[in-house]
Amino acid sequence: MFHIKTTILVFLVFTVYAYPQAHYGYDLWLGYEKIGNPNLLKEYKDLTKAIYFEDGSDVLNAAKKELITGMEKMLGSTLNFKETPNTNYTLLIAKAATIDPALTKKLSANFYEVGSEGFVLKSVIHRGKKLIVLAANEDIGILYGVFRLLNLMQQQKDLRNITLIEYPKINLRMLNHWDNLDRTVERGYAGYSLWNWHKLPEYIDQRYLDYARANASIGINAVSLTNVNANSHILTPMYLEKVSALANVFRPYGIKVYLTARFSAPMEIGGLKTADPLDADVRQWWNDKVNEIYALIPDFGGFLVKANSEGQPGPQNYGRNHVDGANMLAQALQPHNGLVIWRAFVYSEHDPEDRAKQAYSEFVPFDGQFSDNVLIQTKNGAIDFQPREPFHPMFGAMPNTQLMMEFQITQEYLGFSTHLVFLPQLYKEVLDSDTYSKGKGSTVAKVVDGSLDRNKISGMAGVSNIGNDLNWTGHPFAQANWYGFGRLAWDPYISAETIADEWLKATYSNDPNFVDPVKKMMLISREAVVNYMNPLGLHHIFDTGHHYGPGPWVHDLSRPEWNPTYYHKADAKGIGFNRSHSGSNATGQYATEVAKTFNDPKTCPEEYLLWFHHLPWDYTLKNGLNLWDGMALKYQEGVDQVEEMIETWNKARPYITHEEYQEVQMLLKIQLKEAQWWRNACLLYFQTYSQKALPAGVEKSTKSLEYYQSLKFPFAPGIRPQWD
């Protein structure tokens, strides 16, 4: 009896104790867990004995507030601010111009290079005392510096001899939300839109603020609120007032708001008969609209436009071209320093040219013709956010145009928010690719950061994976993709491994027994998904419309290039899309060195083999296996990798809360089931062409091809109504 009671008591105490520990992911990487290590705690506490923090703007206030929240949580004690001039500071946070010049000199930083958003964080000895200085040219640099300092503390870094000079390599670091006004999110897998249009502008959800904090902490400084498949209502006075309320929340965090502009808005909400960009009334309408927006939102960022793409209206509807359309909007925005971000994601069912070639063909002839305040936003690859694509041939091919990168953070083709896939691996692969446009070393990163062609403005956008789920992104590890995107937009040269390391420490734990294996798991996760979905350069073999699961057999959609059979071209002889010089010659859109490598199946990296070549089933791969066996084993490898991920996660159990463990464990189980589904369905289908048996080591499906073909998902998330 006594024992039972004790057990119940222990259980209750444990439950009560354990419950508040679980944070369910809302805090993202800003949980600011209490520091356990006593030496480090002392070092950090000493730092807070006498803090000078320059007061002033809303941005500085936001920075100070974050410093207090973060440090007090991590240290468990209050901070001591000294308001009066004093030389005995332990931490001094101020703009360079207001600091004692003798001290500024000791920072030995080139403040010109630091620019408007950068900062210097350095420990110095001044008048015999050791202190840490955080200095910047502008308030926003201080905010970024505070977040960095807190992040270093979360990683439990020794700050005693720190010297850090940081500034963003890319000007525009942007999230694109594909959020509709009814709060559904196109390709969104984390619930509904954050933007509660119905309650705005009066009701300001705490989430807007926490969203702004999270973005600022990784340097994101621009957000486009609405779907690229735009609704003109967002430009009506009622909605603009709501947008203005959001802009007010984001402003202290250095974030500018952008909207998607539907090209036909002058007709839909302006009562005009045309939206022809060369029509005087249309031009006047946009000028007036832009003036109206800036009267409400003085730092409005500009417009993001999807025109003449997938049925969206655009200048071509009036016999005009992309330059006419983009420059017309640019002219309206220019007096306010606003930008036009014009998307290059175009392809047409009426164009028989290989879809992979169409954007290049349509845009490259316009090189040099876009206004200075236009950026051309180009997806990382020429098809559509596949698990792996070679870099888009437009990168490097438009030296006189400001090309902006568009990555997808939401996992439309990567298992939605159920699969653990660490996307910085994908982003890095693209950014590190060499375009050879100006000789060896002309990487995509250098095109995008503007250094290769000396662009005035550079930019990187990520299609958001954020929704109103409690943990923001659906899968807790999808937070790492938001985090990683921001870090790479700030500095496209940092490694995926560094990002994983930082994120794990800030989010879960600093224990190396946890961090090291889990980091490895994150780093293999991207290759795993490529293996079980689209190995060896296969692409776009997803089921129709929703893109959930495999559908390599789909062949009867109205637009040829919406059919997976268009992409894999499997037949009795072999598989793959011949894009070499003997085929569609998409390789010809790359610089000679790159084209040469891609053209020959022997030199083409095997991860792009079937992207560029149609090869016989018994073609010999580099490892000596024939293509069929090699492909089948890749599918199996993907499944095995997910099994390894599950094992790793099981071992991580002691270092995290039960809830944290369980959540990912359940998701990994779904991922395994779906990886097996991909392997079985694809191999059964391709086997009808190869007519070969599965090689040893590949598990045989217990279900038939017909079974997989019969699966239908009319309510798969993220689908937009106009797709069938």
Catalytic residue numbers read 310, 384, 412
Q: Could you tell me the smallest distance in angstroms from the CB atom of residue 229 to ligand BDP?
A: 5
Report how far apart, in Å, the C-alpha atoms of 99 and of each of 93, 106, 130, 196, 218 are.
9, 11, 16, 43, 26
**Angstrom distance (rounded) from CA 486 to CA 253:** 14
Q: Could you tell me the smallest distance in angstroms from the CB atom of residue 412 to ligand BDP?
A: 6
Residue among 187 and 519 whose Cβ is closer to ligand BDP: 187
What angle, 0 to 180 degrees and rounded to 10, lies between the N-to-C axes of helices 512-533 and 658-690? 20
391 makes contact with ligand BDP (CB under 6 A): no
Among residues 122, 187, 262, 679, the one that binds ligand BDP under rule CB under 6 A: 187
359 makes contact with ligand BDP (CB under 6 A): no
Q: Could you tell me the smallest distance in angstroms from the CB atom of residue 567 to ligand BDP?
A: 14
Q: State the number of binding residues for ligand BDP (CB under 6 A).
A: 11
Among residues 229, 284, 348, 585, the one that binds ligand BDP under rule CB under 6 A: 229
356 makes contact with ligand BDP (CB under 6 A): no
**In terms of C-beta density within 10 A (0-12 exposed, 13-18 middle, 19 or more buried), how is residue 33 classed?**
middle
228 makes contact with ligand BDP (CB under 6 A): yes
Residue among 167 and 548 whose Cβ is closer to ligand BDP: 548
Among residues 89, 208, 342, 345, the one that binds ligand BDP under rule CB under 6 A: 345
Q: What backbone phi and psi angles, to 5 degrees, belong to 456? A: -75, -40
Residue among 126 and 720 whose Cβ is closer to ligand BDP: 720
Q: Which two tokens stand for residue 479?
A: 């937070």
What DSSP string describes 107-137?
A: T---HHHHTTT-EEEEEEEETTEEEEEEEES
Among residues 384, 469, 543, 637, the one that binds ligand BDP under rule CB under 6 A: 384
Cα Rg for the chain, rounded, in angstroms? 27
Q: Could you tell me the smallest distance in angstroms from the CB atom of residue 84 to ligand BDP?
A: 55
**In terms of C-beta density within 10 A (0-12 exposed, 13-18 middle, 19 or more buried), how is residue 623 classed?**
exposed
**Angstrom distance (rounded) from CA 693 to CA 114:** 61
Residue among 305 and 332 whose Cβ is closer to ligand BDP: 305
Report how far apart, in Å, the C-alpha atoms of 305 and of each of 1, 322, 374, 418, 620 are.
71, 11, 11, 30, 45
**Angstrom distance (rounded) from CA 616 to CA 612:** 13
Residue among 476 and 552 whose Cβ is closer to ligand BDP: 552
Q: Could you tell me the smallest distance in angstroms from the CB atom of residue 310 to ligand BDP?
A: 6
| Cross-strand bridge partners of residue 434 | 443
> What type of residue is 282?
V
DSSP letter, residue 695: P
Among residues 95, 173, 289, 306, the one that binds ligand BDP under rule CB under 6 A: 306
412 makes contact with ligand BDP (CB under 6 A): yes
Residue among 345 and 590 whose Cβ is closer to ligand BDP: 345
Q: Could you tell me the smallest distance in angstroms from the CB atom of residue 170 to ligand BDP?
A: 20
Residue 421's nearest CA partner among 553, 530, 506 is 530
Do 566 and 614 touch, CB atoms closer than 8 A?
no
Q: Could you tell me the smallest distance in angstroms from the CB atom of residue 148 to ligand BDP?
A: 32
189 makes contact with ligand BDP (CB under 6 A): no
Q: How many residues does the chain have?
A: 724
Among residues 139, 166, 186, 276, the one that binds ligand BDP under rule CB under 6 A: 186
385 makes contact with ligand BDP (CB under 6 A): yes
- Beta-sheet strands, E only, within 456-597: 459-463, 574-575
Q: Could you tell me the smallest distance in angstroms from the CB atom of residue 248 to ligand BDP?
A: 29
**Angstrom distance (rounded) from CA 372 to CA 195:** 31
Do 694 and 632 touch, CB atoms closer than 8 A?
yes
Residue among 144 and 263 whose Cβ is closer to ligand BDP: 263
Residue 394's nearest CA partner among 607, 590, 529, 647 is 590
Residue among 229 and 687 whose Cβ is closer to ligand BDP: 229
Binding residues vs ligand BDP (CB under 6 A): 186-187, 228-229, 306, 310, 345, 384-385, 412, 720
